[in-house]
Amino acid sequence: MIPIDDSPLTRDGKVLILAYDHGLEHGPVDFEDVPESANPEHVFDVATHDAVTSIAVQKGIAEAYYPSYEDDVNLLAKLNGTSNLWRGEPDSAVNWSVDYAHEVGADSIGFTVYGGSNNEIEMVEEWREAQEKARDYGMASVMWSYPRGQGLRNANTPDSIAYSARLGLELGADVAKVKYPGSKEAMEETVRVAGKTKVVMSGGSKRSDEEFLSNVKSVIDAGGAGLAVGRNIFQRENPERILDALEKVIFEESTVEEALDA
């Protein structure tokens, strides 16, 4: 593993990745509530908030927009990804190489692995190549670890989510990004089995400030490192306000009430 606590991906050992690959994964529908969120410049501006440790984007967004932000934002290159137009077994195309991501300015990589998919073997082999190349550059690697596949029942049970975090440890991820398993206790178990791999929560669909921050708080209380979040930031009219609150919960050990009252 790399000394992840010295990596630009972390601040005081904690992680807050602003995920912005939704235009590929879900399509422009995710930008309808806040139309300016379709503009990458708006979201890069949001990512200059002190609470954000990195922004995760695909190649085209990085090439076109990162040069204007490289002094203010850390770049996580989300290397693979697939559109929502794809109707086959879960899979993810590798869209750029680690070499090229490094050239563009990334200091960490992100990679989806769908454990349980009929394509798991190929995805894990692609991950291996990316993870080892990232090691050469001293770049942290984050596994978007989602159990998903036509033969997989109960993909989002606490056991499946704990297993997905363990896959991160077994396969050399510095950080495993997993779905919220539903409770602090389940997250404690997920963090426990992930060992030295940091566990972060995947943001999920937009919900109220209270509900979202409570989930984040229980992740932190369970020993999780933070979160990688998109819609719960850029689908808000005032992303700065929720980032102020997240900064308090993740980095300052505040309660949800304290964070919202500030």
Per the listing, tokens 């036509």 go with: 150
**Residue 123 and residue 92 in contact, taking contact as beta carbons nearer than 8 Å:** yes
- Enumerate the active-site residues: 177
Work out how close the CB of 37 gets to ligand FBP at its nearest, in angstroms, rounded to a whole number.
11
Can you read off the two tokens belonging to residue 27? 């399509």
Residues in the chain: 262
Using CA atoms of 62, 34, 181, 57 in order, give the dihedral in degrees to the nearest 10. 0
DSSP H/E element including 18:
strand 15-19
Integer Cα distance of 55 and 235 in angstroms:
16
80: helix, coil or strand? strand
Work out how close the CB of 95 gets to ligand FBP at its nearest, in angstroms, rounded to a whole number.
13
| Contact flag: residue 19 with ligand FBP (CB under 6 A) | yes
| Contact flag: residue 155 with ligand FBP (CB under 6 A) | no
Residues 182-241 that bind ligand FBP (CB under 6 A): 202-204, 228-232
Work out how close the CB of 3 gets to ligand FBP at its nearest, in angstroms, rounded to a whole number.
25
Residues 110-149 that bind ligand FBP (CB under 6 A): 144
Which CB, 35 or 138, lies closer to ligand FBP?
35
Integer Cα distance of 16 and 258 in angstroms:
19
Integer Cα distance of 187 and 129 in angstroms:
29
Which CB, 149 or 230, lies closer to ligand FBP?
230
Per the listing, tokens 């979202």 go with: 212
Residues 21-80 that bind ligand FBP (CB under 6 A): 21-22, 25
Distance of CA 45 to CAs 33, 48, 66, 108, 239, Å? 18, 5, 11, 20, 10
Work out how close the CB of 246 gets to ligand FBP at its nearest, in angstroms, rounded to a whole number.
12
Work out how close the CB of 34 gets to ligand FBP at its nearest, in angstroms, rounded to a whole number.
13
| Contact flag: residue 165 with ligand FBP (CB under 6 A) | no
Nearest residue (beta carbon) to ligand FBP: 203
Which CB, 25 or 174, lies closer to ligand FBP?
25
Which CB, 102 or 231, lies closer to ligand FBP?
231
Integer Cα distance of 247 and 113 in angstroms:
28
Which CB, 117 or 232, lies closer to ligand FBP?
232
Q: Between 158-170 and 184-193, two packed helices, what is the crossing angle to 10 degrees? A: 30
Size of the residue set binding ligand FBP (CB under 6 A): 13
Q: What residues make contact with ligand FBP under the rule CB under 6 A?
A: 19, 21-22, 25, 144, 202-204, 228-232
